[in-house]
Structure 1
């Protein structure tokens, strides 16, 4: 489970692995944070997430906690992308109150992209860091 403060090489690294300030996102990655915030707020979920696939399509989702099914927002966003035919992800964002990126969501993104940046943001949209490993 990548922890933002425990993975200094991964935090604030861009898609090429070079260092960048965590709040400096491209317009497309900023859109992912906005979509994730909206998904979270719409249903009052613990987390919201959004991913962008190889064709530039975006998928947003909120965490699900049912008696028979529990998915993180990032897992559901990745599943939605895969179900729509995505074979690769360009980037992901998750909005959460947690200080770490959940392991299940991280693994789901890595199933479709070994190096896509995963931006972690607070509920107010402030980017806390980016995980690229």
Structure 2
């Protein structure tokens, strides 16, 4: 059984889930930067642009001047967070950042961390 999310990470779940539902996207994601600011995005699937929800969050954080990230959450039907998404997250966040995966029944706990 997964442990309950900390309050700050529960906010990420709320943002990711709401973003996914509002846009009817395959995924929603949210991240928190080192200053406590949050960014949420949905996956994009256009003929000339495909972007995962987590990659969208990282792009928004970078374009807003974030120096790093302290947590991420992906709301998805997939069983795991894609390795390519962990690579994108690691580019900004560095190693050791917890990545939560949530599905229809809520968060599964920390499903991955950015590694070296």
Specify if TM > 0.5. Answer: yes
In structure 2, the partner of 1:118 is 99
Higher strand share: 2
- State the alpha-carbon separation in 2 of the partners of residues 110 and 27 from structure 1: 23
Give deviations 1:53-73, integer Å, cap 9, x for gaps.
Answer: 010000000000000010000
Q: Which residue of the other structure, out of 55, 58, 74, is the alignment partner of 1:78?
A: 58
Contact 1:94 1:119 in 2 (8 A): yes
Unaligned runs of 5+ in 1: 1-20
- State the alpha-carbon separation in 1 of the partners of residues 48 and 61 from structure 2: 22
- State the alpha-carbon separation in 1 of the partners of residues 88 and 18 from structure 2: 21
In structure 2, the partner of 1:56 is 36
- State the alpha-carbon separation in 2 of the partners of residues 81 and 128 from structure 1: 24
* Runs of 4+ with deviation above 3 angstroms: none
Contact 1:72 1:104 in 2 (8 A): no
Contact 1:45 1:63 in 2 (8 A): yes
Give the aligned length: 112
Q: Note the aligned Cα RMSD (angstroms).
A: 1.2
1:27 and 2:32 equivalent?
Answer: no
Post-superposition offset of 1:105: 1.5
- What TM-score do the two structures reach when normalised by structure 1? 0.80
In structure 2, the partner of 1:5 is none
Greater relative contact order structure (CA < 8 Å, 6+ sep) = 1
